[in-house]
Structure 1
């Protein structure tokens, strides 16, 4: 930011200096040469006034002093030097002046001005004034050097001013960036300070207002989570206690399996509530700590829970683990919840035999859940596949179409990934990082 401001200011100053200095340099050069020619012309005119017509008969001529470093001479119509200093024979400039006109020109590296001397409407001589052009050139170079120094000083001042202005402009933006990083790190109390720049202050105010709104939204969400936790846990716990008491007291062989199944369902519902609440509390943090479960046990429990439901619909559920070591651990509750969502999705929207396959990928496990149906993707391509995991994608009423979205969020919270592996037959793949007993997580999905 600072360097960009300095570059912009320096570029603008450089363009302004060039646009001003180049014409000024040319004007200085033209002016100095014109002044020198004017000086020579004045000297020649002064000499022409002093020339008497009798000089042709030998009368002496007293010419004024020549210009500094120059020469002043009188030439007769035969181009001979009769008085003063200069070439012994008149040059082209003198010859042209014999036509009764003042001539300015160059000759042999000198600036030359020739003024005719007239008497009775006849030119009786020419006064020639000259000076070295190098003297004027030196003055031009000196003036250009002074001009270049002034331009350099102007650019230096421009850089210093630009750097100061860059600090003034960049400081509040850098402060806003620091506060944004603090918010990203979890400090929701960070607020951007005001500055003396109206536009940046507007951005800071908008940032603070947005942060305040987000803070309030998160507070309401936490309050809702706490309230939902209390309101759901209490009746579930009471229901479990009632079922356990009924199971202990009732000896009816017909009711006992029903009570046991209902009790198992309430426990799974309790685990689901706990997992959803854990996901809400750990939003934005992957790999949150959850109890680990052996993969083989997880697959057995899942098969036992869902086999009867599929059998009741006249469908089969096949579970298989391919070369998965017995000591591999995965977070039990969230993985079980994700598999439950995928199996329920296959039960409701799929058809035919449903297969749950676990594959070992060394640092991760792949859980494939597929059936014999087909997944219809709106729009096709990766965009359509991604919309499968959007909340409300199914287009149903309130609460509909959140299963796959919840499963995806649970997978991300574990450091894994959930994706659609195949559209026909429909197959979803869950990648979960694993670890051996007594080891930390080996890798993420």
Structure 2
């Protein structure tokens, strides 16, 4: 029987309903990105549209001015005497006319009488204006420092507006394309940013459902990874605490079962046996209850010693005294099953101090294991071994379980819970020692402890 696992959906916190994902964060991120791009496009496109309009009209006025100057070159000094003027053919839609000093049209196209722009140009100043739906440029023609005529060039403003609108349409198309690309990029980035958080939320839900093995994966986003690492560390610590809680419960149950059974049996025997020495029965019950007290203390110490191994092993007793108590507890148990228990101390180790509670608990586990899974005579030998003290617990049985997993929690060859040997190993390591299987046939377990004596 191994460690219990918490099934999803039935965890110790109870079932938690899953909420359907509505994608709100993803939508918000996309909306913010699109709004930022849209604002940037508006701030860029509006001034650019104004610049396009101004540039178009400036270009048109410059072209008309060039046409007017080209025509003015054709007007000679004899123009004031009535000499005719031959004007170059203007571009389509453009009117170019030459006016005399009386502002009458003499050549080209235009109003028969000069307009306001023509009159102002006759005052020796070039004129450019937008009036009456036309763009008009008027250039004075001088001879001997006298204005002898005016050249007027004009074009329909609608032609310029057509070019402006075409440019604006192109600008709008480019802006729309940029906005579409921005929307695609924003949705992709929103998905990239929200996916790790959605995964983190899913892992949190799995943990809430009781799966303490769920871990958040890396997203390569520093801030989200920091949250994931913190959560993983928290879950690992929570799992460790729950595992220790289960181990403590199992250890306490395993170690208290045999002493309680012995105490109960002794009291029942005293109650049912006529002429029993009640004082001796009470003394035996007190001794067994004291052992129960020590057992509880040792299990608690083991639970607290996870991060402080080898420290706080408790009081020490001479090896002879400790083994004598072990023999007292187990001699009757084996005798009832018609089996023999023999304990032998090699000369010279009787007075060596040993951690009373830890060694006693380990020997209790090994002897109980020999009683349940072994056979025949059980021998406990205490000897020195290269600066350490060795406890050999042997019986006449044969170990068939693979040695590699023998001390794993849950490993058992019978109906037991598979806790005893794992607990004995933990107790030995908490006292700075080591427990191992020395022989499979016959079965021999060896506990090695540092020897300071």
1:111 paired with 2:135, answer yes
Report whether the alignment pairs 1:57 with 2:81: yes
Equivalent of residue 142 in structure 1, options 166, 176, 184: 166
Residue aligning to 1:396: none
Instruction: Please tell me whether the aligned partners of residues 43 and 67 of structure 1 are also in contact (alpha carbons under 8 angstroms).
Output: no
Counterparts of 1:199 and 1:79, CA distance in 2 = 80
Determine the structure 2 residue equivalent to 1:19: 43
How many angstroms apart in 2 are the aligned matches of 1:48 and 1:228?
Answer: 117
* Structure 2 residue 89 is matched with structure 1 residue 70: no
1:94 corresponds to which of 107, 115, 118: 118
Shift of 1:65: 1.8
Deviations 1:386-414 (A, max 9, x none): xxxxxxxxxxxxxxxxxxxxxxxxxxxxx
Structure 1 range deviating more: 10-19 or 25-34: 10-19
- Partner residue in 2 for 1:80: 104
Q: Which residue of 2 aligns with 1:166?
A: 190
Residue 183 of structure 1 deviates from its aligned partner by: 0.8
Match of 2:60 in 1: 36
1:167 shift after superposition: 2.1
Q: Pick the structure with greater CA Rg.
A: 2
TM-score (norm 1): 0.53
Distance 1:13 1:234 in 2: 76
Cα contact 1:40–1:67 (8 A) shared by 2: no
Which of 129, 135, 149 in structure 2 is aligned with 1:125? Answer: 149
Cα distance between partner residues in 1 of 2:145 and 2:39 = 57
Identify which of structures 1 and 2 has the higher relative contact order when contacts are C-alpha pairs closer than 8 Å and 6+ apart.
2
Secondary structure of the equivalent of 1:125? strand
Q: CA deviation at 1:230?
A: 4.7
In the TM superposition, what is the alpha-carbon distance from 1:55 to its structure 2 partner?
2.0
What is the distance in 1 between the residues matched to 2:234 and 2:104? 96
Structure 2 contact 79–148 (Cα < 8 Å) conserved = no
Q: Give the structure 1 partner of residue 338 of structure 2.
A: none
* Structure 1 SS opposite 2:213: coil
Count of matched residue pairs: 254
Q: SS of 1:157's equivalent?
A: helix
1:199 CA displacement: 2.9
* Deviates further, 20-29 or 30-39: 20-29
Give the distance between the partners of 2:47 and 2:216, measured in 1 at CA: 49
Could you tell me whether the CA contact under 8 Å between 1:75 and 1:125 is conserved in 2?
yes
Shift of residue 56 of structure 1? 2.7
Q: Give 1:110-259 correspondences, 5 Å limit.
A: 110-230=134-254
Matches of 2:117 and 2:266, distance apart in 1: 129
Give the superposition deviation at 1:238.
Answer: 6.4
- 1:185 CA drift (Å): 0.5
SS at match of 1:130: strand
Displacement of 1:214:
1.2
Q: Please report how far the alpha carbon of residue 207 of structure 1 lies from its aligned counterpart in structure 2 after TM superposition.
A: 2.0
**With structure 2 as the length reference, what TM-score do the two structures score?**
0.52
Contact 1:66 1:129 in 2 (8 A): no
Structure 1 unaligned blocks of 5 or more: 252-445
Do the aligned residues in 1 keep the contact of 2:105 with 2:114 (CA within 8 Å)?
yes
Task: Write the distance in 1 (CA, Å) between the matches of 2:261 and 2:111.
Answer: 126
